[in-house]
Amino acid sequence: MTRQRALILDIMRQQRPLHLTADEIFCHARQQMPHIARGTVYRNLKMMERDGEVAHLEMAGGPDRYDCNPVPHGHLLCDSCGELSDLPVVGLMREVEAAIGTEVRGYTLTIHYLCPKCRAKNAQ
């Protein structure tokens, strides 16, 4: 593993439970490795996604984000503040496989809601 790739993975693990954008990862990386190029971060993220080390989360209406947990799971997205958090969905793949009669390789599940902070703010 290259130093750059190890740094990117370390940044993502340190920032958990946040799901960072590539630019956010780049900004953190520059603090520790000032000469790292933006393209290096993007290329490494693409390779890490291909190799199953990270998950790429396409976000409608906003920049894509990355998750250092590549195991299929859902996400909760606050429609007000944009906070994205993990949602463990135990058994979903098994249920879908049973319903369709074939293997499921993965899924993307994003549930839109208002987080507790935004609900409290709206209630005032």
Name which of 50, 89, 80, 79 is nearest 66 in CA terms.
50
Q: Would you state the pLDDT for residue 107?
A: 83
Find tokens 């319903």 and name the residue: 99
- Nearest by Cα to 70 from 44, 24, 95, 107: 107
Residues of the chain with pLDDT under 70: none
Residue 90 has a pLDDT of 82
Q: Is the peptide bond before 17 cis (omega within 30 degrees of 0)?
A: yes
**What are the pLDDT digits (tens) for 11-20?**
999 998 889 9
**Do residues 36 and 29 make contact, with C-beta atoms less than 8 angstroms apart?**
yes
11 near 20, Cβ under 8 Å? yes
pTM: 0.84
